[in-house]
C-alpha cells in the first residue's frame, strides 16, 4: 500500500515524541506527591496575599491575573487554621507551571518543583494537583503557601483550595474530572476501534487511508485530553511526562485530521492541505527544539499551537462548505455539523484559557470532540464496511475467474497467468511441466451420461492434486486435460509422484464400475526452450504418445478377448 509522505512525517514526529517522553521518564526526577489514606469543604476565604515587595492584600480564591505578581518571584498567601480543625486533614489544590512550598508556623511541611533536575524547560509541570497533609495539632496556627512561576501569566493565578481528609480530597478530584475522563476514553476507544478495523480490513480498503487518518486523529486528540486530567497524576506520579504528552499530542493531531479531510472531501486545494500539514510538522519541530534548547517553553509557544489548530479547522470547514454548496455532496453535511461543534467548543476553551481560566483547559472542547466523533462514527464505519464488502466481493469474483467450478481446482486462466509469471521471473529453468489426459471420458459420457463423466473428472483431478501436492498445483486446462507445474522437483521425486498416482487410481478403479485411465507426459524446461509454453508442447507430445500406446494396448487386449 502506498503511504503518503505526510503520513510518514506524522509517524516520525510521533517517534520523536516517544523518545523525548522516555528520556524524561528515565532522567528527570520529580517531587513525589504520595496519596495516603483517609469528609470536603471550600477553604477559599480569609487569605492574605503578599507579593515579593511585601505588599499585602486580602483575597478570596480563586483569583486570576492578581496584580503585584511577577514571574520568577515568590508570591505568598497565608491564613490562620481554624481552632476546631480536626486532625488528619489535607489541603488540595492545583497549580500551573509553579513551584509550591507549604509552611505551618514557619515549619516546612510540603514542597514541589524545587528539587527537580531539569535537562530542559523552566517549569516543573504543566498542571499539578497537590495534596498537603496538615500536621496534627496545627489548630489556630498560620499556614503559609508560597508559589513561584517562570511565566507571568501563571504567576498571578491562585486556584480554589479544598480541605478535607485525604481520601475525601482525592475522591473529590476524581469525581470532578470523571465526565472529562469518560468523554476522553470514549474518543480514545473509538480511535482504537477504527485502527483495529483498518488493520483487519486494510487489504480490502486498498489505498484508502481515510479510516487510518481518522483513527490517528482520535487517538492523538484523546491523548492530549487525557494527559490534562490530573487523575492520571495519581497513577503515573510524574506530571512532567503528562505535560509533554499533552503538548506533543496537541501538536500532532492536526496532521491526521488534515489528511483525513483531504482524502475524503478536498476536491480542490489539495496542495493547500499539503502546505498546512507541512506547517503543522514544522510547528512541532520548532516548538520542540525551542523547548529542549531552553529558549522558549511550550507554554510560551502555545499561541502558535493554537493558531495551527484553528487554521486547520477553518480550512476544513471551508472545504466542506464548498463541497456541500458547489458539488452538492450530501456526505459533507454530517462532517460540517461535527466540525462546527468542535470549532465552537475549542474556541470557547481558548477564550477561557486567554481569560486566565487554566484548570482543565479542554473542558468544553472534549464535549465538542465527542459530538464530532459521534456524528462521524455511523457514516465512517458504515462507509468503510461497504468498501470492505465490495472488496471481498471483488476478491471472490477474482477467485472465481481463476477457479474451475466443477473440480474446484485452478483453471486455464490461472495456468496461463502462472506460466507468464514464471517466464518473466526467469525461474522457468527449474520447472517441469506434467500434462494429463483422461482416455475413456467420451465413452463414459456416451454410455452413462455426463453426470458420471463429471464424477470421473472430479476424481481424476483429486487424484492428481493429492499425489502431486508437494510438487505443484493441479490445473484443469480443458474438458479432460490437466497440467501440473512442478518446481524444484528431480526425476526421482516425479517418479514417486507417478507411482502414488497409479496406486491411487488402482484403489479408485477397484471400487468403481467406471474406471479412470490417465495418460501423462512430462518435460523439464531446457535452455533451448524459448519459454515454458515450448516445454508444455514437448510434454504434450510425450503425453499423446503414451495415450496412443495405451489405446493400442487396449485394442490389442480387446482383440485377444474376442479371439478367446
Whether the model pTM is above 0.75? no
The whole-angstrom separation of Cα 230 and Cα 173 is: 8
- Within its chain, how far is the Cα of 111 from the centroid? 40
**Backbone φ, ψ for residue 146 (5° rounding):** -120, 130
Helices (H) and strands (E) in the chain, counts: 16, 14
Count of Cβ atoms closer than 10 Å to residue 397 Cβ: 9
Mean pLDDT score, 141-161 = 90
Closest CA to 91 of 47, 150, 155, 151: 47
For 71-113, the pLDDT digits (tens) are 889 999 999 999 999 999 999 998 888 899 999 998 999 999 8
* pLDDT of the residue at 340: 84
Query: Hey, what's the cell of 237?
Result: 506520579
Tell me what the pLDDT averaged over the chain comes to.
83
The whole-angstrom separation of Cα 533 and Cα 543 is: 15
Query: Hey, what's the cell of 563?
Result: 479371439
Burial class (CB in 10 A: 0-12, 13-18, 19+), 416: middle
pLDDT at 231 over 50: yes
Q: Edge-to-edge strands of the sheet including 41-42? A: 41-42, 162-164, 90-96, 127-133
For 356-407, the pLDDT digits (tens) are 777 666 778 877 877 787 777 666 656 655 555 555 555 666 666 788 888 8
Cβ-Cβ contacts under 8 Å for 43 (sequence gap 6 or more): 79, 91, 161, 162, 163
* pLDDT of the residue at 387: 54
Mean pLDDT score, 142-161 = 90
Please tell me what DSSP assigns to residue 294: T
* pLDDT of the residue at 64: 82
Give, in degrees to the nearest 5, the angle at Cα 347 between 225 and 266. Answer: 85
Query: Hey, what's the cell of 229?
Result: 486530567
What is the H or E stretch that residue 143 is in?
A: strand 142-148
The whole-angstrom separation of Cα 107 and Cα 134 is: 11
Q: How far is CA 486 from CA 261, 505, 519, in A?
A: 50, 20, 17
* pLDDT of the residue at 239: 81
Burial 67-83 (b: 16+ CB within 10 A, else e): ebbeeeeebbbbbebee
Q: Would you call 263 helix, strand, or coil by DSSP?
A: helix
The whole-angstrom separation of Cα 178 and Cα 453 is: 73
**Backbone φ, ψ for residue 127 (5° rounding):** -115, 125
Q: Would you call 275 helix, strand, or coil by DSSP?
A: helix
The whole-angstrom separation of Cα 445 and Cα 508 is: 18
What is the H or E stretch that residue 210 is in?
A: helix 210-227
Query: Hey, what's the cell of 538?
Result: 514437448
The whole-angstrom separation of Cα 142 and Cα 83 is: 11
Mean pLDDT score, 323-338 = 79
Cβ-Cβ contacts under 8 Å for 354 (sequence gap 6 or more): none
DSSP string, 399-440: HHHTB-TTT-SB-HHHHHHHHHHHHHHT-GGGEEEEEEEESS
pLDDT at 409 over 50: yes
Q: Are 42 and 79 in contact (CB under 8 A)?
A: no
Amino acid at each position: 500500500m502506498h503511504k503518503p509522505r505526510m503520513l510518514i512525517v506524522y509517524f516520525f514526529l510521533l517517534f520523536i515524541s516517544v523518545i523525548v517522553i522516555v528520556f524524561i521518564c528515565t532522567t528527570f526526577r520529580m517531587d513525589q506527591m504520595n496519596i495516603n489514606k483517609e469528609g470536603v469543604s471550600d477553604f477559599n476565604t480569609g487569605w492574605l496575599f503578599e507579593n515579593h515587595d511585601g505588599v499585602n492584600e486580602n483575597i478570596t480564591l480563586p483569583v486570576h491575573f492578581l496584580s503585584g505578581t511577577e514571574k520568577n518571584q515568590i508570591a505568598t498567601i497565608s491564613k490562620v487554621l481554624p481552632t476546631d480543625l480536626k486532625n488528619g486533614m489535607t489541603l488540595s489544590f492545583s497549580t500551573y507551571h509553579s513551584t509550591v512550598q507549604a509552611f505551618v508556623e514557619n515549619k516546612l511541611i510540603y514542597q514541589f518543583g524545587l528539587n527537580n533536575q531539569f535537562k530542559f524547560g523552566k517549569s516543573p509541570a504543566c498542571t499539578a494537583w497537590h495534596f498537603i497533609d496538615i500536621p496534627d495539632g496545627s489548630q489556630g496556627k498560620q499556614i503559609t503557601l508560597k508559589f513561584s512561576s517562570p511565566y507571568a501569566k501563571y504567576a498571578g493565578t491562585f486556584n480554589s483550595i479544598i480541605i478535607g481528609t485525604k481520601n475525601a480530597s482525592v475522591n473529590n478530584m476524581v469525581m470532578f474530572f470523571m465526565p472529562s475522563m469518560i468523554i476522553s476514553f470514549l474518543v480514545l476507544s473509538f480511535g482504537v476501534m477504527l485502527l483495529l478495523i483498518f488493520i483487519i480490513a486494510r487489504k480490502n480498503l486498498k489505498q484508502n487511508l481515510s479510516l487510518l487518518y481518522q483513527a490517528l486523529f482520535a487517538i492523538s486528540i484523546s491523548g492530549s485530553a487525557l494527559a490534562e486530567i490530573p487523575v492520571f497524576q495519581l497513577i503515573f506520579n510524574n506530571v512532567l511526562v503528562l505535560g509533554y504528552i499533552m503538548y506533543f499530542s496537541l501538536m500532532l493531531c492536526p496532521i491526521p485530521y488534515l489528511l483525513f479531510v483531504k482524502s475524503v472531501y478536498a476536491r480542490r486545494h489539495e496542495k493547500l492541505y499539503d502546505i498546512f500539514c507541512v506547517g503543522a510538522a514544522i510547528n512541532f519541530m520548532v516548538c520542540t527544539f525551542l523547548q529542549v534548547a531552553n529558549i522558549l517553553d511550550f507554554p510560551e509557544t502555545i499561541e502558535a499551537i493554537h493558531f495551527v489548530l484553528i487554521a486547520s479547522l477553518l480550512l476544513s470547514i471551508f472545504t466542506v462548505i464548498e463541497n456541500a454548496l458547489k458539488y452538492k455532496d450530501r456526505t459533507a453535511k454530517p462532517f460540517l455539523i461535527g466540525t462546527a461543534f468542535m470549532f465552537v467548543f475549542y474556541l470557547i476553551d481558548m477564550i477561557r484559557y486567554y481569560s486566565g481560566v487554566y484548570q482543565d483547559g479542554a473542558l468544553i472542547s472534549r464535549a465538542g470532540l465527542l459530538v464530532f466523533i459521534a456524528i462521524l462514527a455511523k457514516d465512517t464505519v458504515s462507509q468503510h464496511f461497504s468498501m470492505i464488502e465490495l472488496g471481498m466481493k471483488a476478491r471472490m469474483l477474482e477467485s472465481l475467474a481463476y477457479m474451475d467450478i466443477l473440480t474446484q481446482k485452478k483453471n486455464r486462466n490461472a495456468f496461463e497467468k502462472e506460466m507468464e509469471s514464471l517466464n518473466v521471473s526467469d525461474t522457468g529453468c527449474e520447472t517441469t511441466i506434467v500434462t494429463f489426459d483422461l482416455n475413456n471420458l467420451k465413452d463414459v459420457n456416451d454410455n452413462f451420461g455426463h453426470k458420471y463423466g463429471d464424477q470421473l473428472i472430479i476424481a481424476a483431478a483429486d487424484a492428481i492434486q493429492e499425489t502431486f501436492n508437494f510438487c505443484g498445483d493441479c490445473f484443469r486446462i480443458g474438458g479432460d486435460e490437466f497440467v501440473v507445474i512442478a518446481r524444484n522437483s528431480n526425476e526421482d521425486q516425479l517418479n514417486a509422484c507417478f507411482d502414488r498416482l497409479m496406486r491411487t487410481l488402482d484403489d479408485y478403479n477397484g471400487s468403481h464400475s467406471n474406471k479412470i485411465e490417465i495418460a501423462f507426459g512430462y518435460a523439464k524446461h531446457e535452455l533451448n526452450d524459448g519459454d515454458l509454453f515450448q516445454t508444455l508442447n514437448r510434454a504434450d507430445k510425450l503425453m499423446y504418445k503414451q495415450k496412443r500406446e495405451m489405446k493400442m494396448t487396449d485394442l490389442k487386449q480387446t482383440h485377444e478377448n474376442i479371439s478367446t
